[in-house]
Amino acid sequence: MDNQERLSSFTVNKEKCAGCALCVPACPMKILEIINDLCVITDETKCLECGSCRDKCPERAIIVASEDTSIKTDVIETDKNHSKTVRNPGTNFIPIVKHLRNIIFSDLKPVQIFDYKGKDIQEINKFTLDKNPCFVQLYNTDKIEKIAASSINFFGDMAAEVVCITPAAEYDLPYYMMDWDESKDHIFFFCDIVPSDDIILNSEHLEKYFYKPLEDLYLEYSFNINGLPKSPFHWVRSIHSPYTITGTIDKKDQKSLDLIFDCAEKYLRAWIKLWQNAQPLEPSSEIFKRINLRRQVIGKLYHENDPGGGAIAKFLGEQKGNKVMTAMMP
Ligand code: SF4
Ligand code: SF4
């Protein structure tokens, strides 16, 4: 520890730190300062362990114990003109999950569930974190195992909003996933329709669930939102995840802000059309077995690796944090 200052799971290597301050604006919680040419954390209790500072550091001087990230918000009534109104007094967070949940209520007619995997989840349906309102709610409906809609507000500095729709075992439908992590200045955005089957082995799955419904949407958003990677070839993308839209935008970039809001909605509406047409699989078929094996692995990977788990467990406690992660994850 001679050369290192241990600050909860955040550590700065004093010998490596050049005091360049590149990490300071990257912190969504605004808890980093340069003091005597050294990066210092001013309130370690607020650290989300998100790793944004570590990723900016050219000297690789920052170590964050968990491979972290995430978080989002809570809000007020939603309308389509999110950029003009609908800000929560006292915060500037955008109510994306409430907006998407209204569409889900209207089109999917889901019912709320209060037990999940043998656990009573009512304590996480609505709660506060340092007086800031949060919710983690689950719903189900025809052809769907669960719809998770969650909003967690970290100290009014950072809001994590997630919608994740997991299809029922009898359907080869893909997942819908949307993650919106908003700080005062930036939004980390992730929106995806995630394949349930292997789209290299099963080109029909690629055609039906991805290429036809999503190609135009993907090109519209990925090429027009500043700061996002651009890749035109769906056959190359299919080797990875073909229609992911992800990146971090500056909230002052109004055009990109409007586009990510629209993207979350249009991807959801595209997914709802797929849901409307989905037919059950034959349980003895190879594809049924393959899809359900694949879904088990996807669920396991999220549970073991999602970077938001560390921050949520830190602030909510192990037991409640586990309940939140189990409810939110696919
Ligand atoms: S890990 Fe995240 S919250 Fe913690 S100091 Fe770094 S950027 Fe800030
Ligand atoms: S970016 Fe790295 S080198 Fe620069 S001040 Fe932060 S920790 Fe130090």
Tell me the pLDDT tens digit for each residue of 19-75: 999 999 888 778 899 999 999 999 887 787 777 788 888 888 988 764 333 333 333
Rounded to the nearest whole angstrom, what is the distance from the C-alpha of residue 65 to the centroid of ligand 1?
Answer: 11
- CATH for 3-82 is 3.30.70.20
Contact indicator for 95, 78 with CB cutoff of 8 Å: yes
- pTM of the entire predicted model: 0.74
Evaluate whether 3-82 and 96-328 have a shared fold.
no
Helix or strand (DSSP H, E) at 105? helix 96-108
pLDDT of residue 2: 36
Q: Rounded to whole angstroms, what are the CA distances from 298 to 9, 166, 188, 287, 329?
A: 27, 11, 22, 16, 10
CATH placement of domain 96-328: 3.40.1500.20
Among residues 110, 112, 166, 155, the alpha carbon closest in space to that of 328 is found at: 166
Collapsed DSSP state (helix, strand, coil) of residue 204 = helix
**What's the CA-to-centroid distance between 249 and ligand 1, angstroms?**
18
User: Measured in angstroms, how far is the CA atom of residue 159 from the centroid of ligand 2?
Assistant: 25
Instruction: With a cut of 70, list the residues of the chain below it in pLDDT.
Output: 1-8, 65-92, 230-240
Torsion angle (degrees, nearest 10) of CA 237, 240, 241, 246: -90
Number of C-beta neighbours around residue 42 at 10 A: 13
Q: Report the atom number in ligand 1 closest to the C-alpha of 27.
A: 7
- C-alpha of residue 21 to centroid of ligand 2, in Å: 5
Atom 1 in ligand 2: residue holding the nearest Cα:
57
- Ligand 1-lining residues (CB < 6 angstroms): 10, 26-27, 29, 31-32, 41, 47-53, 64
Q: Ligand 1 atom 2: the closest Cα is on which residue?
A: 50
Domain ranges of the chain: 3-82, 96-328
Position 129 scores a pLDDT of 86
DSSP string, 281-316: PPTTSHHHHHHHHHHHHHHHHHHHH-THHHHHHHHH
Tokens read off for 178: 């949307």
Which bound ligand lies closest to the C-alpha atom of 41? 1
User: What's the pLDDT score for residue 79?
Assistant: 39
Query: Does the beta carbon of 21 lie inside 6 Å of ligand 2?
Result: yes
